[in-house]
């Protein structure tokens, strides 16, 4: 279970354990926790395991210089590393860092890669049947790969023709489209998941991970069909928090690897991956005249400016612009 937080003893005096618990007390995502801990550990190891209390501006600047010159990491990566260190000092250790000689890198605006409808369909048509519906959900509903793999049976609302997306980036929930073409494949996938669950119950297992304190609030919910993952993993695994053997969802990496393999097989030269389907979903809606606000809600963007990037992706021919040489 690569995306489930490991349990930490409340009595631990280890610096990194206390740092992790502090991050969790702020209700940050597990991705943020892993990122911040990675850079703080990197920083400590770079300075030969000196305690952060004994280090300050000089050591931070030396570390950032190392990332820039020796490792040649991107400006935005250095910014992430600095954010982790500043969070550790200011928020966790209550040590104010002032006068740091470092300029935040301005990330240049990059247009997202998108598929044409024909390209997206070609990838879907050549994708292994086992996980093809994952790609269809990303392209047809605008889901992230993490949101797709974490879908539970109860999140598919056939009556209301929508999908409820939970456990998302920023821990926000939203509704998105449920394409009619996916009704039957999704119903079949629900049956498949329930069959796996029934077999697990017969073998003395059948529980599933529940977020937050839901497992304490609803003790029997982890065995209920509605809470089972829509895309269950092929094997049982041990929950690192409780040491309970249960079935998790398929891994994001599994789907990502398959997408890369199909792209290579199709000799597609675009720098693309799973997230390209989400970009393509937004672009298709914009080309069809969908209001930008509606697209923002479907994608779950907090800021409309994030959604506006797709205005620059829509083809120039959509705006009626024609090259002078085509008029000759």
pLDDT of residue 315: 65
| In a domain? residue 10 | no
Q: How far is Cα 115 from Cα 276, in angstroms, rounded to an integer? A: 7
pLDDT in tens, 224-246: 999 999 999 999 988 776 788 99
Contacts with 261 (C-beta within 8 Å, 6 or more apart), sequence order: none
In the annotation, is 49 catalytic?
no
| In a domain? residue 194 | yes
Are 50 and 168 members of one domain?
no
| In a domain? residue 2 | no
φ/ψ of residue 59, rounded to 5? -70, -35
pLDDT of residue 104: 56
pLDDT of residue 100: 82
Are 76 and 119 members of one domain?
no
Q: How many domains does the chain have?
A: 2
In the annotation, is 278 catalytic?
yes
Which of 62, 92, 122 terminates a domain? The answer is: 92
Are 85 and 232 members of one domain?
no
| In a domain? residue 4 | no
Are 214 and 309 members of one domain?
yes
Name the band, by pLDDT with cuts 50, 70 and 90, for residue 202.
very high
pLDDT of residue 148: 95
The active-site residue out of 150, 278, 279, 284 is 278
CB half-sphere exposure, 256, CA atoms < 13 A: 10
Name the band, by pLDDT with cuts 50, 70 and 90, for residue 8.
confident
Are 55 and 119 members of one domain?
no
In the annotation, is 310 catalytic?
yes
Are 212 and 142 members of one domain?
yes
Are 226 and 312 members of one domain?
yes
pLDDT of residue 65: 87
The active-site residue out of 197, 246, 247, 301 is 301
Domain holding 61: CATH number? 1.10.150.130
Note whether 64 and 86 are within 8 A (CB). Answer: no
Judged against a pLDDT cut of 60, whether residue 317 lies above it is answered with no
| In a domain? residue 100 | no
pLDDT in tens, 82-105: 999 999 999 999 999 888 876 655
pLDDT of residue 102: 66
What's the gap between Cα 271 and its chain centre? 18
Q: Which domain holds residue 19?
A: 15-92
Q: How far is Cα 50 from Cα 171, in angstroms, rounded to an integer? A: 35
* Distance in Å from the first CA to the final CA of the chain: 61
| In a domain? residue 9 | no
pLDDT in tens, 135-170: 999 999 999 999 999 999 999 999 999 999 987 776
The active-site residue out of 20, 78, 144, 258 is 144
Tokens coding 60: 């931070």
In the annotation, is 217 catalytic?
no
In the annotation, is 144 catalytic?
yes
pLDDT of residue 103: 62
- The strand ranges marked E within the chain are 156-157, 162-165, 174-177, 237-238, 245-246
pLDDT in tens, 248-307: 999 999 999 999 999 999 999 999 999 999 999 999 999 888 999 999 999 999 889 889
Are 160 and 204 members of one domain?
yes
Are 256 and 168 members of one domain?
yes
Contacts with 264 (C-beta within 8 Å, 6 or more apart), sequence order: none
Length of the chain: 328
| In a domain? residue 165 | yes
Are 297 and 171 members of one domain?
yes
Domain holding 304: CATH number? 1.10.443.10
pLDDT in tens, 21-80: 999 888 787 788 999 999 999 999 999 999 999 998 999 999 998 988 888 887 788 889
Q: What is the mean pLDDT of residues 9-21?
A: 89
Are 200 and 67 members of one domain?
no
The active-site residue out of 50, 169, 172, 198 is 169
Cα distances (angstroms) measured from residue 313 to each of 30, 69, 197 = 31, 34, 43
pTM: 0.78
Residues above pLDDT 90, as percent of the chain: 62
Are 221 and 124 members of one domain?
yes
Q: How far is Cα 198 from Cα 226, in angstroms, rounded to an integer? A: 13
Which of 65, 92, 119 terminates a domain? The answer is: 92
In the annotation, is 264 catalytic?
no
């Amino acid at each position: 279970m690569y995306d489930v937080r490991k349990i930490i003893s409340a009595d631990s005096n280890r610096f990194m354990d206390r740092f992790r618990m502090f991050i969790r007390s702020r209700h940050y995502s597990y991705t943020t926790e892993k990122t911040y801990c990675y850079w703080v550990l990197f920083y400590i190891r770079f300075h030969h395991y000196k305690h952060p209390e004994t280090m300050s501006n000089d050591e931070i600047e030396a570390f950032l210089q190392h990332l820039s010159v020796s490792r040649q990491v991107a400006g935005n990566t250095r910014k992430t590393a600095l954010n982790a260190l500043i969070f550790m000092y200011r928020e966790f250790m209550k040590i104010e860092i002032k006068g740091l000689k470092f300029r935040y890198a301005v990330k240049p605006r990059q247009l997202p890669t998108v598929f044409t409808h024909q390209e997206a369909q070609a990838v879907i048509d050549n994708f292994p049947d086992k996980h093809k519906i994952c790609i269809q959900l990303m392209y047809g509903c605008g889901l992230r790969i993490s949101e797709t793999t974490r879908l539970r049976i109860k999140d598919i609302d056939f009556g209301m023709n929508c999908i409820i997306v939970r456990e998302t980036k920023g821990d926000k929930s939203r509704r998105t489209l449920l394409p009619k073409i996916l009704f039957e494949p999704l119903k079949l996938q629900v049956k498949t998941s329930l069959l796996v669950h029934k077999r697990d119950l017969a073998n003395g297992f059948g529980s599933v991970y529940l977020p937050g304190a839901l497992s304490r609030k609803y003790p029997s919910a982890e065995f209920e069909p509605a809470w089972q993952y829509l895309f269950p993993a092929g094997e049982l695994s041990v929950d690192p928090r409780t040491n309970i053997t249960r079935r998790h969802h398929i891994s994001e990496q599994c789907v990502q690897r398959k997408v890369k393999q199909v792209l290579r097989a199709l000799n597609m030269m675009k720098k693309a991956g799973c997230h390209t389907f989400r970009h393509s979903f937004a672009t298709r809606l914009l080309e069809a005249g969908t209001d930008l606000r509606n697209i923002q809600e479907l994608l779950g963007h907090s800021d409309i400016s994030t959604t506006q990037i797709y205005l620059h992706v829509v083809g120039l021919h959509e705006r009626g612009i024609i090259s002078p040489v085509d008029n000759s």
